Amino acid sequence: MEAYYVAADPGAARKYAAGLALAKLDRELGLVRGATIDRATRDRRASAHQVERREEGARTVFVFEVTIEASGISLHKRALVTTAPGEGGWRVMNYADRDR
């Protein structure tokens, strides 16, 4: 959550990801490769608060409320993050978000 949503750094989030989540991050990185980070992106503020946690077999699913503020605009999202044990510890296996 911290690397992807708060810091807006999908590259840093890669070390916590596996499976579908890693494929999604790599796709996103390919889409922004060579793009310049503008001031509004650098100066944005974001926060994430866990609102739910549930066990689904070997996986743990977390739900977060995410707020991103930039250039006078506030975005509110609900993020679903699925984790599972993986190489070197727990890994994010999938993630999705929607506007709330």
Q: Residue 9 belongs to what domain range?
A: 2-99
CATH number, domain of 25, equals 3.10.450.230
Structure-token pair, residue 42: 């650098």
- Laid out side by side, the sheet with 89-99 consists of 45-56, 59-70, 73-86, 89-99
For each of the chain's 100 residues, which pLDDT tens digit applies? 888 988 888 999 999 999 999 999 999 999 989 888 777 667 889 999 999 999 999 999 999 999 999 888 999 999 999 999 988 899 999 999 999 9
* Domain count along the chain: 1
Are 29 and 9 spatial neighbours (Cβ–Cβ below 8 Å)? Answer: no
Note the pLDDT of residue 40. 67
Residue length, the chain? 100
Interior angle at CA 54, CA 18 and CA 81, nearest 5: 35
Note the pLDDT of residue 87. 87
